[in-house]
Amino acid sequence: MNDAVIATKALTRRYRSHTALNEVTFRVPAGAVYALVGPNGAGKTTLIQVLMNLLPATSGEAQILGEPSSALRGAALSRIGYVSESQEMPDAMTVKAYLDFVRPFYPAWDAALEQQLLAEFGLPLDRKLKQLSRGMRMKVAFVSVLSYRPELLVLDEPFSGLDPLVREELIQGLLDRIGETTLFLSSHDLGEIEGFASHVGYLEQGSLMFSEELTTLSGRFRQLQFRSGLAELPPSLPGSWLGVEQSGPFVKSTETAFTGAAEAQALVSRFFPEATELTIEPMSLRSIFLATAKSQREQRVKAQTGVGL
């Protein structure tokens, strides 16, 4: 696990009868922009809090920068930046006083970068934090972590509730510094991350459905549609297909292990010998997540009701 900036193995967090994280295993390589996505309540914040040693794990392992996350404290935190959706800051302080307060904690603080960020974000040094909008407060939080060039930057829903302009300014501030740090962020809004994430993990009810490079994920998912030649779906279907639906003579499916058009045609012909008019379309990130989430929920309903088993 030591060659990854973040690495977990079977990481689990339970609250009595509720399992918030269920044996989550993934790795974040150095220099990655890793987006952890999933619906509200999926366990994203719980995972980040365990990684940051704000909550203990029930079982499993987690390492940050080669050290157990349970040991994060003191000097180790000077290598990590952390900003959460509900970031707490001393409201009575001005922007200048707050930065003056946090600066001594970080030996690698770059004063020139601090001034550059203040100018980019248009922050008023003499305004008290309690007088700032949520967007401006998030800008202050970003300045306070980017200025010491952390090896790892962890962001928990950092853009939630922000107006589009502020969101774009913050994203651009991150994009300008990608390569200097490894970025791990959570979000339930796919539009926020699709343009700049290099890796993606999808969390659903505490379980990690997949974790991989975004290009690999996009490459293996395809939307298939064809004229089946059968009156109804056969009893057996490819294990790599999700959400198979038949409407009249046409069948639509999500292929999760696409390797080429010829292979897709051969698979369709194996299960639907009379199939014609096959079309194969790439899928957006949103479509991939919707197909995966819908399939997982259908499986849970079947497991609970016994229908279709």
* pLDDT tens digits in sequence order for the chain, 309 residues long: 557 999 999 999 999 889 999 999 999 999 999 999 988 889 999 999 999 999 999 999 999 999 999 998 888 888 999 999 878 899 999 999 999 999 999 999 999 999 999 999 999 999 999 999 999 999 999 999 999 999 999 999 888 878 888 888 888 888 887 777 999 999 877 777 777 899 999 999 999 999 999 999 999 999 999 999 898 999 999 999 999 999 999 999 999 999 999 999 999 999 999 999 999 999 988 899 889 888 877 776 666 666 555
> What are residue 185's DSSP bridge partners?
35, 155
Residue reference for tokens 């922009």: 33
Q: Give the up-direction half-sphere exposure of residue 202: CA atoms within 13 A in the CB hemisphere.
A: 19
How much is the pTM? 0.88
> Which sign, positive or negative, has the C-alpha torsion 107, 31, 191, 156?
negative
Residues of the chain with CATH 3.30.70: 218-305
User: How are beta strands 33-37 and 250-255 bridged, if at all?
Assistant: unpaired
Tokens of 268: 């369709």
Residues of the chain with CATH 3.40.50.300: 6-213
- Judge residue 87's burial from the number of C-beta atoms within 10 Å of its C-beta, 0-12 exposed, 13-18 middle, 19 or more buried: middle
CATH code matching the domain that covers 218-305, chosen among 3.30.70, 3.40.50, 3.30.67, 3.30.2170:
3.30.70
Tokens of 50: 């365990």
The class of domain 6-213 in CATH terms is alpha beta
